[in-house]
Structure 1
Amino acid sequence: MCEHPLPENSGKDPVTPRTDDEKQAVVNRLRRIEGQVRGIQKMVEDDRYCVDILVQISAIDKALKRVGYSLLERHTHHCVKDAIQKGDGDEAIDELMKVVQQFSK
């Protein structure tokens, strides 16, 4: 069975838009991760020891997962909760489960 990745843009808007502080926190985390990726690129260019590079890749993977879990938590508390209260819970839960499955691969 072929599984397709989730679309980049579902066309939906958040039920509760992120606050400026929430946006800034996520953007700051992503910028730090971006800097870490650049650091790994430099490590490869400098022919650094493989294990050192792998340790940094693992750190980036964990950092991305933390960002993802924080977004997942917010989505559940706002969008999914709202859908359940409006009687559209089954669809929201199905969508949530698909993204959880995709995220946990």
Structure 2
Amino acid sequence: MTGDEEAMTAVLNRLRRAQGQLSGVIAMIEAGRDCKDVVTQLAAVSRALDRAGFKIVASGMRQCINGADGDQAPLTEAELEKLFLALA
């Protein structure tokens, strides 16, 4: 995956944060923590993943539209819609 270096750094930071949060959720479940606390942290993981996905789509949209990812053809409107809906 290529793209704006600053955007990709932000995506990687979000994914690393989500990875840490997910490890925390697993530990909470193993420790028998309260359901409310577990669900709250799980929702935070979900939001972090969503934000990473949205950032990837937003930063890579021009490349996707123009087919600038190497040998790939430009994405069709239907393919772009499918990408957005995958994150919805």
Give TM-score scaled by structure 2 length: 0.78
Mapped partners of 1:77, 1:37: distance in 2: 31
Mapped partners of 1:31, 1:23: distance in 2: 12
Q: Gaps (5+ residues) in structure 1?
A: 1-13
Residue 76 of structure 1: aligned partner = 61
Q: Gaps (5+ residues) in structure 2?
A: 68-72
Bigger share in helix: 2
1:102 has 2:86 as partner: yes
Larger radius of gyration: 1
CA RMSD of aligned residues (A): 2.0
CA contact (8 A) 2:17 2:48 kept: no
1:1-105 → structure 2 map (5 Å cutoff): 17-80=2-65, 82=66, 91-104=75-88
Mapped partners of 1:71, 1:94: distance in 2: 18
Q: Percent identity?
A: 30
Letter matched to residue 103 of structure 1:
L
